[in-house]
Amino acid sequence: MVSTIYKFYYKNGLQFDFPNNQRLLIDGKSSKVPLNAQTIVTHAHSDHFTFMYSTPNTRATQETIDLFLCQKKPSGSIKFEPVNFNEKVEFLSSLDDLDIRLIPSGHILGSASVLISYKSKNILFTSDIGGKGQLTVKDSMKVPKADILIIEATFGSPELSFPSREEISMDILKWSADVVKEKRNVVFFAGKIGSAQELIKMYNNLTNLRVITHGEVTPVSEVYQKHGIKLEFFDSKSEEGREILRDGEAIVIQPRGKKMVPFFIKEHVNCRSAIVTGMASRFQYKDFDAAFPLSSHANYAELVDYINTVSPEIIFTMYGLEKKLANAITNELKIEAIPLREKKEEPNIQQTTKISYVKKEKSLTRDQQDFNQKKDLPLKKDSKKVTTLDDFFSKE
Ligand SMILES: [Zn+2]
């Protein structure tokens, strides 16, 4: 009889239950955190930091803490514990063999994946991971080997592969050059943390055009500056910013979720608008003059590349298109992949550990040709089959 070493599941965040009643909760979706839980926040997008409002001693990178505080002021005195990349996170100390580290995920400033080593097995939770060639990620993405991979699936479908970042950037610049020639302002609706700063940096690097930031984009961009990312921009409400808007030929960056037309567009209607989102690779956006698939997330081809580098033996998918990604991984990469769905009730041990998987035939490589050849390999179901997660941890 093999004993359960630990279990993990997705309920109000990603939870790991270790022996001795020790619990780790990552990116909780509720401000109510179990008393015995230690908490980590991977990055400063609002769908990941809910419990930072209420939980003392949440671990996160200093960049994530600063980006959180520039958006929200928690009531009372909440203490955060900054953690450097690649350093051991000191908690759950009663477990000798446990090693938890944050590693750069290349998604936005300070964003982290979580690498957990316990009883000589590695489990990697990617959280949100970035694509190639980002301009404003200070610490480039690190991709370690792991036995178990829990990967995000925001763009986890083969039809969501975008052109390269360089191609998208050139499309954006060409389109905005035409708008500016007409003495109009260009207004981008972009994610306020990540894509907004990418756009500022791109215009700073490649043009002389002046960038105006919406009141919600300005403080975020200032945190990027504080952490060493050089960005030049003017706040839309500053005197200088208003003057530039009146002149025309400005690049305006505002949060994507904002439906209200801000004052500076009302005052300066001479503009063309574009939305910036990875979904622009798949959908048309009627309310905008243009749409560009620039994203802070890895696209499908980049997710496949990431998986090949990690070379895991079993994969769990979560966030977004988790079912589609799991199917694609199982069919194309011949690695068993299971969607990790949010559970209403806390699962019991039997539910969480009875997970079958098939050991892959050989190590995968980044070589695309090799990947294509694997499409034709049959899924092998024979003596290598492991029936439970306990078996997985106990095997050599
Ligand atoms: Zn994110």
332 has a pLDDT exceeding 80: yes
E strands, 288-377, where?
Answer: 290-292, 314-320, 337-339
Report pLDDT digits (tens) over 84-140. 999 999 876 667 788 999 999 999 999 999 999 988 889 999 999 998 889 999 898
CB 318 within 8 A of CB 339: yes
251 has a pLDDT exceeding 60: yes
Query: What is the pLDDT, as a whole number, of residue 388?
Result: 46
CA of 106 to the centre of ligand 1 (A): 10
CB 151 within 8 A of CB 325: yes
Domains 7-160+298-394 and 165-292 belong to one CATH topology: no
CA of 97 to the centre of ligand 1 (A): 30
CA of 20 to the centre of ligand 1 (A): 32
Query: What is the pLDDT, as a whole number, of residue 189?
Result: 94
CA of 318 to the centre of ligand 1 (A): 13
41 has a pLDDT exceeding 50: yes
CA of 154 to the centre of ligand 1 (A): 10
Report pLDDT digits (tens) over 258-279. 755 556 666 666 889 999 998 8
CA of 128 to the centre of ligand 1 (A): 5
Residue 306 in tokens: 């990431």
CA of 110 to the centre of ligand 1 (A): 11
Cα–Cα distance for residue pair 13/42, rounded to 1 Å: 11
Residue 387 in tokens: 């029936």
Residue 152 in tokens: 């995000």
CA of 95 to the centre of ligand 1 (A): 30
Mean pLDDT of 42-49: 91
With 0-12 / 13-18 / 19 or more C-beta atoms within 10 angstroms meaning exposed / middle / buried, residue 132 is: middle
Mean pLDDT of 202-220: 95
Cα–Cα distance for residue pair 186/105, rounded to 1 Å: 31
CA of 47 to the centre of ligand 1 (A): 8
Query: What is the pLDDT, as a whole number, of residue 12?
Result: 84
CA of 122 to the centre of ligand 1 (A): 23
Question: Considering the entire predicted model, what is its pTM?
Answer: 0.85
CA of 89 to the centre of ligand 1 (A): 21
Residue 251 in tokens: 């690049």
Mean pLDDT of 376-380: 34
Mean pLDDT of 308-314: 96
In the CATH scheme, what architecture does the domain 7-160+298-394 have? 4-Layer Sandwich (3.60)
CA of 45 to the centre of ligand 1 (A): 5
37 has a pLDDT exceeding 90: no
380 has a pLDDT exceeding 60: no
353 has a pLDDT exceeding 50: no
Residue type, 236: S
The most distant pair of C-alpha atoms in the chain lies apart, rounded to whole Å, by: 76
CA of 345 to the centre of ligand 1 (A): 26
Which of these CATH numbers, 3.90.230.10, 3.40.50.261, 3.40.50.10890, 3.30.390.50, describes 165-292? Answer: 3.40.50.10890
Show me where the domains of the chain are located.
7-160+298-394, 165-292
CA of 143 to the centre of ligand 1 (A): 17
Mean pLDDT of 20-28: 87
Residue holding tokens 């279990």?
7
Residue type, 169: S
